[in-house]
């Protein structure tokens, strides 16, 4: 599910990791409005205020303009659009470092009117500890989600072949059964992260030319 993203009058200094609510996109989709049906009312998940949120997932659809950068986060449970306003050189440096296909941690706000959710990012950083990913994503056990991450990392590396990477090569690199690799491949194909090339055994990243 994709949600719209628009501006919000908040200061980045208001947000630290300890003050945010970690959520999956699926949880955000189920969030309910609090209070009156007014502009800027926060959402709640299981009674918890979600006006300050943290989402971990893969970046896609990054689009840059003079005053802002928009992008989509896919965390394995769904997709959500964010906007990051660019006010100075520090903001530009942060957004320049974010690329399609990269796992990032996003801190921001979630506000809305009626059922329309608007997500504004105030801090976007690359994920360097991939233990963050299984904790934040689809709700499957950590080992399965970690496998998805390991497989995707293989596709983030430049391939010597125009046809991409063979499933057997991935299994060899990771030391895992082909059957588990196939499950992870199917997961990423469904979410548009990778695609097949010359046959059902060769795949390439959707984010690398």
Name the range with the highest mean pLDDT among 2-16, 169-183, 189-203.
Answer: 189-203
Is the predicted pLDDT of residue 177 greater than 50, yes or no? yes
Element (H, E) at 117: strand 116-126
Alpha helical stretches, state H, 22-85:
25-30
**Residue keyed to tokens 């233990």:** 131
Q: What is the mean pLDDT of residues 56-79?
A: 90
Q: Where in the chain are all domains bearing CATH 1.10.10.10?
A: 140-205
Task: Tell which wins on pLDDT, 79 or 32.
Answer: 79
Per CATH, domain 12-126 is 2.60.40.420: no
Weakest mean pLDDT among 47-51, 105-109, 148-152, 177-181: 47-51
pLDDT at 95: 92
pLDDT (tens digit, 9 = 90+) per residue, 1-57? 444 333 333 344 444 444 677 888 888 888 777 665 555 666 777 677 777 888 888
Q: What is the mean pLDDT of residues 66-83?
A: 90
Task: Tell which wins on pLDDT, 162 or 62.
Answer: 62
CA pair distance 53, 26, nearest whole angstrom? 13
CA pair distance 73, 56, nearest whole angstrom? 8
pLDDT at 124: 93
DSSP annotation of 139:
S
pLDDT (tens digit, 9 = 90+) per residue, 83-104? 999 999 999 999 999 888 888 8
With a CB cutoff of 8 Å and minimum separation 6, the contacts of 45 are 21, 23, 27, 28, 30, 31, 32
Q: Where in the chain are all domains bearing CATH 2.40.50.140?
A: 12-126
pLDDT band at 156 (very low <50, low <70, confident <90, very high): confident
Question: How do 194-196 and 202-205 pair as beta strands?
Answer: antiparallel
The predicted model scores a pTM of 0.57
CA pair distance 125, 17, nearest whole angstrom? 12
Task: Tell which wins on pLDDT, 70 or 37.
Answer: 70
Rg of the chain on CA atoms, in Å: 18
pLDDT (tens digit, 9 = 90+) per residue, 124-149? 998 776 556 544 444 433 333 456 77
Four-way CATH pick for 140-205: 1.20.140.10, 3.40.720.10, 1.20.1260.10, 1.10.10.10: 1.10.10.10
pLDDT band at 209 (very low <50, low <70, confident <90, very high): low
Report residue 32 as tokens: 């309910």
């Amino acid at each position: 599910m994709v949600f719209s993203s628009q501006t919000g009058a908040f200061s980045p200094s208001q947000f630290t990791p300890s003050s945010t609510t970690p959520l999956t996109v699926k949880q955000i989709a189920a969030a309910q409005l609090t209070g009156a049906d007014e502009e800027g009312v926060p959402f709640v998940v299981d009674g918890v205020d979600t006006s300050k949120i943290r989402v971990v997932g893969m970046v896609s659809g990054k689009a840059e303009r003079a005053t802002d950068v928009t992008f989509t986060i896919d965390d394995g449970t769904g997709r959500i659009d964010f906007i990051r306003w660019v006010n100075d050189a520090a903001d530009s440096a942060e957004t320049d470092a974010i690329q399609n296909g990269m796992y990032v941690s996003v801190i921001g706000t979630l506000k809305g009117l009626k059922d329309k959710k608007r997500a504004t990012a105030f801090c976007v950083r690359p994920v360097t500890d991939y233990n963050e990913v299984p904790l934040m994503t689809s709700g499957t056990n950590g080992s399965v989600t970690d496998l998805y991450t390991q497989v995707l990392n293989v596709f983030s590396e430049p391939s010597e072949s125009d046809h991409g990477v063979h499933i057997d090569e991935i299994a060899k690199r990771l030391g895992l059964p082909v059957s588990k690799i196939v499950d992870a491949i199917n997961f990423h194909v469904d979410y548009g992260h990778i695609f097949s090339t010359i046959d059902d055994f060769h795949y390439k990243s959707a984010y690398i030319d």
